[in-house]
Structure 1
Amino acid sequence: MAQVLEFKLPDLGEGLTEAEIVRWLVEVGDVVAIDQPVVEVETAKAMVEVPCPYGGVVTARFGEEGTELPVGAPLITVAVGERPSSGTGEPEAEGSGNVLVGYGTSEAPARRRRVRPERPVAAPDMAAGSRAAGAAPADAAASTETVNGRAGAPGTDDGPVPVISPLVRRLARQNGLDLRELTGSGPDGLILRADVEYALRAAARRAETAAPEPQRQPSIAPEAPGELRIPLKGIRGAVADKLTRSRREIPDATCWVDADATELMRARAAMNAAGGPKISVLALLARICTAALARFPELNSTVDAQAREVVRFDHVHLGFAAQTDRGLVVPVVRDAHARDAESLTAEFARLTEASRAGTLTPAELTGGTFTLNNYGVFGVDGSTPIINHPEAAMLGVGRIVPKPWVHEGELAVRQVVQLSLTFDHRVCDGGTAGGFLRYVADCVEQPAVLLRTL
């Protein structure tokens, strides 16, 4: 006889207490295997898939897409009954017991591919997420009646639309676009971001000849005429909290200098002309940063306020600011001090792509010891960035543009960049911060200076 087990939103680690449902991976009536991912959620750290420790038939789901659930709230209920043996003479385990995301399982699942029995339509969600903490799960019979009651309903379609990324699904949802009306240009009809953007542009062109309708934004609710209230949650909420804490706890100061980057750009062009993977400017700046931190280790540190101690690190885990559709994130390049320019270029590219796809893990977003902020990509010359708490410093890099410059006693047009350093005044004084920034500028102006540290 089947036993109905309830699976609750597990502790996702990193001190996280809630998560937002981004996409359901199963529906009521689906057969799931042990440790099969059943839902994709967004936390303040990253987008993760949550595996269910039970195998059986899904009898209820709790919460709609876009709903925030606290840790411990019900996610799904699964009817666990007799199942075929694994082929070794032993019956399958009833559950893996592993409910923490990212820690693997104690045994390999019987199958990872989702199995869906034949049925006319998808069953509706059960209780809304706002009532999840106190909701009672519906039984399997009630779910079956719901499915049968809608059998043959017009306009229904079975199964999810194949989309390359949850961010693409969210983009369509925020703009009121029905993905089922699109034909994907990816492999096997996979809908890409370019497909959604093309459809939105086409809709905008059609709207030019018709009366415009207000865009529907479910997550932005007007409170009064001319006023919008935008919730600070998920990544944006976490960033807001961290920046506020940085300003509140860190007595920061900023110094800056203009540097002639002409020789650095020439050196990069020579590297790339020699063949092999292309080297990015960001990778060269990162290599300069690690060399400067080796000379000025005070800035590769953090402050333990309770112990009233400065903690210096013997490694450089280099964070870099990356702007995404979900907000500002700071991926971390582990052991940047031990990487060459080619390795740094590859790792920056990998983490940037993961940032845009929303697939960064919590480990890839934490543990930084120093941050490099290339705000020049936004077309600005300078900035006074906020330190990425609990680090002690951040190097900012503006755009590299032609400017009049005195070079070897003559006025010339050179490639000039503004460098800024924001630092925690508790870890060092202005002399140390100035020495670090001057060394970075010297390496930018004369890349051969780096040869001393290679």
Structure 2
Amino acid sequence: MAQVLEFKLPDLGEGLTEAEIVRWLIQVGDVVAVDQPVVEVETAKAVVEVPCPYGGVVTARFGEEGTELPVGAPLITVAVGTPASGGEAGGGSGNVLVGYGTSEAPARRRRVQRVQSEPAVHVKVADGPVPVISPLVRRLARENGLDLRELKGSGPEGLILRADVENALHTPAPETAVPADGRRTPLKGVRGAVADKLSRSRREIPDATCWVDADATELMRARTAMNAAGGPKIALLALLARICTAALTRYPELNSTVDMEAREVVRLDQVHLGFAAQTERGLVVPVVRDAHTLGAEALTAEIARLTETARAGRLTPGELTGGTFTLNNYGVFGVDGSTPIINYPEAAMLGVGRIVPKPWVHEGELAVRQVVQLSLTFDHRVCDGGTAGGFLRHVADCVEQPAVLLRTL
């Protein structure tokens, strides 16, 4: 006889206490395998899939897409102990860790089966899900305060498409429906977490910024020579990351954090290098673990992996936390300089502007060189201007003369 078990939203770790349902991956009546992902949720850190520790038939699910649930709230109920055609159902791993999967993956994943005929996920039924299958469409509507249930979809079987949402947003509503205080966007999820961290940084950290222009011509030539030699291509950001770790070896004060309760500056031994990445979900800062132990090739590979994962919205909490220093390449936006906000609780951030040809005095003569503006925003509690200036000058020297890095290789 089947036993009905309730699966609750598990402890998300990293101090996270709630999550928003982004997309259900199963329907009532589906057969699920042990450790099969059943729902996609958004936390303040990332979007992750939650695997169910039970195998069986889904008898109920709780919460519409877009609903926020606290940790411990019911997600689904599963009838276990009833074999399904094509495999066995029942049992469970008893282990769920959001963002990382479970401890032991099943030998194979079965395709979800239907126990009985029911509408596809995008068909609107009474008290059922909104006819939308794209999380991006839901997010676009949610961020602009648009109720999807009021839209008529232009897709197959009434499916709401992105164009339907965009058209609704550009269609003026009746004057009585327009709030006097303008359009409101909720600060929650990743955007809310970023807002909280930036606000705390501004409140607690007495920051200062220094900057310098540097001739990056030789660095660009060195990268071209590396990539012409064969093997994996080296990214410019990876070279800048390698320069950062070399400078932090010389000026370790900037790889630290402040413990105000103990009134101590804590100097950290490992460099976990964060880098700013712009995604559809907003700004995130993935972290390269133990960056000081990696060369240019390894840094290129890890930065590329984290960037791709970030854009797919699949970064785990562990990949977004624990940074000790941040590299911010705002030059990709076509700007020369910036005074960024320190990524709390770190002590400093290196900013890199765009690299553009400019008139420059080189070896006593005026020439056109590839020039970049570098800025360092630092916590004035951990060091004075002399240390910050020394760090930035060393970074600039490495950019202008990459051979300086040979001292640390």
TM-score > 0.5, shorter chain as reference: yes
Q: Which moved more, 1:356-365 or 1:67-76?
A: 67-76
What is the distance in 2 between the residues matched to 1:178 and 1:447? 57
1:331 to 255, 278, 286: 286
Distance 2:380 2:185 in 1: 35
Alignment correspondent of 1:136: none
CA, structure 1 residues 178+172, in 2 after alignment: closer, same or farther (shift >3 Å)? farther
Aligned-partner Cα distance in 2 for 1:241–1:252: 17
1:394 match: secondary structure: strand
Letter matched to residue 283 of structure 1: A
Tell me, yes or no, if the aligned pair for 2:31 and 2:115 is still in contact at 8 Å: no
Aligned 8 A contact 2:100 2:316 in 1: no
Please state how far the C-alpha of 1:285 moved relative to its aligned partner. 0.7
Residue 95 of structure 1, CA deviation? 3.2
Contact map agreement 1:257 1:420 (CA 8 A) in 2: yes
Show CA shifts across 1:351-382 (max 9, x none). Answer: 11111001111111111111000000001110
Is residue 14 from structure 1 mapped to residue 14 from structure 2 by the alignment? yes
**Counterpart residue number, 1:449:** 404
What are the equivalent positions in structure 2 for 1:328-407 lying under 5 Å apart?
328-407=283-362
When normalised by structure 1's length, the TM-score is: 0.78
In structure 2, how many angstroms separate the alpha carbons of the residues matched to 1:270 and 1:421?
Answer: 28
Q: Return the letter of the residue paired with 1:53.
A: P
In 2: Cα distance, 1:451 partner to 1:274 partner:
18
8 Å contact from structure 2 (residues 33, 89) kept in 1: no
Give secondary structure in 2 for the equivalent of 1:224: coil
Distance 1:276 1:103, change over 3 A: closer
| 1:427-446 aligned within 5 A | 427-446=382-401
Cα distance between partner residues in 2 of 1:278 and 1:76: 46
CA distance 1:180–1:32, shift in 2 (3 Å): farther
Partner amino acid, structure 1, of 2:91: E
User: Distance in 1 between the 2:401 and 2:120 partners?
Assistant: 66
Residues 172, 179 of structure 1: 8 Å contact kept: no
Q: Is the 8 A contact 2:8 2:73 kept in 1?
A: yes
* CA 1:363–1:108: 2 relative to 1, 3 Å: closer
CA distance in 2, matches of 1:228, 1:117: 42
* Structure 1 residue 332 displacement after superposition: 0.6
Matching residue of 1:193 = none
Match of 1:116 in 2: 113
Change (3 A) 1:86 1:31: closer
Deviation at residue 347 of structure 1 after TM alignment? 1.1
CA distance in 2, matches of 1:370, 1:239: 16
Give the C-alpha shift of residue 83 in structure 1. Answer: 3.5
Is residue 24 of structure 2 the alignment partner of residue 24 of structure 1? yes
Aligned length: 392
Q: 1:97 aligns with which of 94, 102, 106?
A: 94
Does the 8 A contact of 2:37 with 2:51 survive in 1? yes
Deviation per CA, 1:266-312: give whole Å up to 9, x if none.
Answer: 11111112222211111111111111000000001111111111111
Task: Give 3-state SS (helix, strand or coil) of 2:332's partner.
Answer: helix
The residue type paired with residue 101 of structure 1 is: V
Structure 1 pair 325–177 and aligned structure 2 pair: CA distance change class (3 A): farther
RMSD of aligned residue pairs (Cα, Å): 3.3
1:298 matched residue in structure 2 = 253
Paired AA for residue 22 in structure 2: V
> Which runs of no fewer than 5 residues in structure 2 stay unpaired?
none
Tell me how far apart the structure 2 counterparts of residues 306 and 431 of structure 1 sit (CA, whole Å). Answer: 27
Q: Percent identity?
A: 80
State how 1:71-90 maps to structure 2 within 5 Å: 71-83=71-83
Structure-2 residue corresponding to 1:308: 263
CA distance in 1, matches of 2:380, 2:168: 53
Equivalent of 2:277, from 316, 322, 326? Answer: 322
Question: Where in structure 2 are the equivalents of 1:43-442 lying within 5 Å?
Answer: 43-83=43-83, 94-102=91-99, 104-105=101-102, 108-109=105-106, 112-117=109-114, 119-122=116-119, 166-167=135-136, 181=156, 214-215=169-170, 224-225=179-180, 227-442=182-397
AA in 2 matched with 1:425 = H
Report the CA distance between 1:107 and its aligned residue. Answer: 5.4
Question: What is the Cα deviation at residue 230 of structure 1?
Answer: 0.4
Deviation at 1:79, TM superposition (A): 2.1
Which residue of the partner structure matches residue 5 of structure 1?
5
Alpha-carbon distance, 1:451 to partner:
1.2
